[in-house]
Amino acid sequence: MAANRGVVYLEPGKVEVQNIDYPKMQSPNGKPIEHGVILKVVSTNICGSDQHMVRGRTTAPAGMVLGHEITGEVIEKGKDVEFLDIGDLVSVPFNVACGRCRTCKEGHTGVCLHVNDDRAGGAYGYVDMGGWVGGQAHYVMVPYADFNLLKFPDRDRAMSKIRDLTMLSDILPTGFHGALNAGVGVGSTTYVAGAGPVGLAAAASARLLGAAVVMIGDFNPQRLEHARKMGFVPIDLSQHDRLGEQIAEVVGQPQVDGAIDAVGFEAVGHGGKEQPAVVLNQMMDITREAGSIGIPGLYVTEDPGATEKAAQSGNLSLRFGLGWAKAHSFHTGQTPVVRYNRQLMQAILHDRLNIAEIVNAQVISLEDAAQGYQQFDSGVASKFVLDPHGMLGAA
């Protein structure tokens, strides 16, 4: 049995790469399973959602192995796995889903009813998501493998684009889900809040869907400059407190067809003060009547670090009456990755979507994960990809 190491959350602001148990074919409650596989992790990414936990903004327990963005090679499989073979290279949706319950059969794999004893929905290495061990490690176990895993059709071709394909586990489908839910189509005017990796993935998705103009708003000058280089229209939120006026300078009117919130509950307003509802309220202000708002940004039921008491239990000061009066559609929740990842894989393999360049993917070793977390938290315009076995460097 090979040794295993993984990124472990210790306390707010601190993670460490430690020796961890080699994965077993069993559920978090110890029940043996035969529908799973063990993967040798080829790549695994640091996500903004991980940062929420590491900052102490959730109830994540010390000792949790992090990581829900996983690409790997099948090295062991249970006897109930029929359609995957040893050596297959696969993308792992961050949703843990059974494929058998009512919501999974309806395509809502982000709220699977069977993989979490406490509530609907499961994920690897994430608080309140069922206790599934994370994949920022050398090896990880994936349940319900036939349903969950996306097999790459050609290993050599996949490895040649592995920096792009590693984004299929979360941020690319998440950005695409946000763009679709914002009603983006040919000729749309679109605004994306947040120029981090998910915001850039949403912007890239909007462009893929035919948007005429894609604006990205942020306070971070480095991220805005990178967005500009990638062909999006940067909106510097530090220069103005009236977003509609900034949008009017670009499209001639203070509204857009659809908006995407890629920021979530740690949003800040002018002056640097945290205002967890500020982005959602801005979305309602700038989105046209009968328009749609996609919300791939994370909102939580418990936020112990919130500055507003109500927000500590997930209650936000929304101007919901405005959204109601304008007949807006709101779309929230975990992205059902399996709904989109095959199509997006094809877009990558056929050179329609250079997502690694768009999110500025930076490959680092697993042992350097703590430094990657620190740099990402400082606001650098990069997406950090961990390379546990040196396979990306070789590719």
pLDDT of res. 390: 96
Q: Where in the chain is the domain with CATH 3.90.180.10?
A: 4-170+336-394
* Cβ atoms 141, 23 nearer than 8 A: yes
The predicted model gives 284-295 an average pLDDT of 98
Please tell me the least confidently modeled range out of 105-114, 186-195, 312-321, 346-355.
312-321
171-331, CATH topology level = Rossmann fold (3.40.50)
- Better-predicted residue by pLDDT, 119 or 241: 119
Give me the residue label for tokens 């982005």: 279
Look up residue 214 and give its amino acid. V
What is the CA 283 to chain-centroid distance, rounded? 20
pLDDT of res. 319: 94
| pLDDT at residue 395 greater than cutoff 70 | no
4-170+336-394, CATH topology level = Quinone Oxidoreductase; Chain A, domain 1 (3.90.180)
CB atoms near residue 307 (< 10 Å): 11
Q: Where in the chain is the domain with CATH 3.40.50.720?
A: 171-331
Instruction: Name the percent of the chain lying above pLDDT 70.
Output: 99
* Cβ atoms 114, 100 nearer than 8 A: yes
| pLDDT at residue 272 greater than cutoff 90 | no
pLDDT of res. 36: 98
The predicted model gives 231-240 an average pLDDT of 95
User: pLDDT tens digits for 47-104?
Assistant: 999 999 999 899 999 999 999 999 999 999 999 999 999 999 999 999 999 999 999 9
| pLDDT at residue 211 greater than cutoff 80 | yes
Residues contacting residue 41 through CB under 8 Å, at least 6 positions apart: 70, 71, 72, 135, 137, 138, 139, 140, 388, 389
| pLDDT at residue 241 greater than cutoff 90 | no
| pLDDT at residue 299 greater than cutoff 80 | yes
Give pTM, 2 decimals. 0.96
Q: For the packed helices 171-181 and 341-349, what is the interaxial angle rounded to 10 degrees?
A: 110
